[in-house]
Amino acid sequence: VHRMLGEPDEALGAYAAAEAIVPGLPEAAFGAWVLTRAPGTVLGPAGEATDYVAARTAIDQAVLPEDDPYAVDGTAYARALLDLAEGGERLAHATNALERLKTAYGFDQLLTYAAERARKSAQAWGAETQYRRQEAERDDLPRVRLETSRGDIVLELFEDDVPNSVRQFVHLVRQGVYDGATVGTTIPFLAALVGLDLDPGYTIPTERRGARARGAFRGVVGFLGTGKDTEAAALFVTTGTATHLGDDFVVFGWVREGQAVADALQAGDTIRKATVERVRDGVAYRPVRADGTPVPGDD
């Protein structure tokens, strides 16, 4: 329970107490090393940046008990979780490592869940890369530049998949809604949450993805909502693979340039200026509100 609540020190104390009662208890050693100590090297407190280099260094420099298979597997688990978060081609490595660990420690549901998530994410990434190749050939999707206090991020928007969400974002950028917006918090190796206090005065319909499922891989942007048809202006930018969120949030674009900047965002950072760099000719970027009426304007 302590481990699931994010209290590693208390969890380690409980595992030690269990081992004192039953020396050599496998579940206690597994819990202490595989589930708590090693993964703790790739996690950080809310509000901090995502730093893959520092996390990998921490894993490599961890002092392990000699000849302790649990410590070795714990380190392998930490590396696999980091590969899963970083995504892309590393998803295949994460899948292989987690499948091996699942075979050895199948009694743990969280490890089994991580292995399944890695497998599904790797499969979906293959389709996503094909979509992006096709989009690169057409080279006509809208783009928005975010000038942040950490550097610039260029977003390419999935207008073919979620057109109303893209129109909402472009419309808000043109209205200057994101100029001066702050990063409310970050969840390291998952996402930065931006503009949590922004309120344009209306919401838009939750736009469900069609046949092409654009998953929440590392480096995508989407709207935050509190339920169906509650998306408005608040954003998330993923700094780790978040495909386990499924359809809970609407993804409407990806970080074409500046992923390192997105990873570096911390609570309190700002978007100094948001600018529409290009849109499609002949498209009126006027979103439809949740009540079915178009937003006024000449976008």
How deeply is 225 buried, as exposed, middle or buried, from its count of CB atoms within 10 A (0-12, 13-18, 19+)? middle
Task: Count the Cβ atoms, other than its own, within 10 Å of residue 212.
Answer: 13
Q: Say if pTM beats, i.e. exceeds, 0.75.
A: yes
CB 75 within 8 A of CB 61: no
How deeply is 267 buried, as exposed, middle or buried, from its count of CB atoms within 10 A (0-12, 13-18, 19+)? middle
Q: What is the pLDDT along the chain (299 residues), one digit of tens a residue?
A: 887 777 888 988 998 899 899 987 878 888 887 777 777 666 678 899 999 999 898 888 877 777 788 888 888 988 999 999 999 999 999 999 999 999 988 888 888 999 999 999 999 999 999 999 999 999 999 999 999 999 999 999 999 999 999 999 999 999 999 999 999 999 999 999 999 999 999 999 999 766 677 889 999 999 999 889 999 999 999 999 998 876 678 899 999 999 999 999 999 999 999 999 999 999 999 999 999 999 987 55
Question: Distances from the Cα of 31 to the Cαs of 14, 35, 40, 168, 211, in angstroms?
Answer: 10, 5, 12, 46, 40
- Scanning the chain, the segments in alpha helix (DSSP H) are 8-21, 26-29, 52-60, 69-86, 90-104, 109-138, 163-174, 259-264
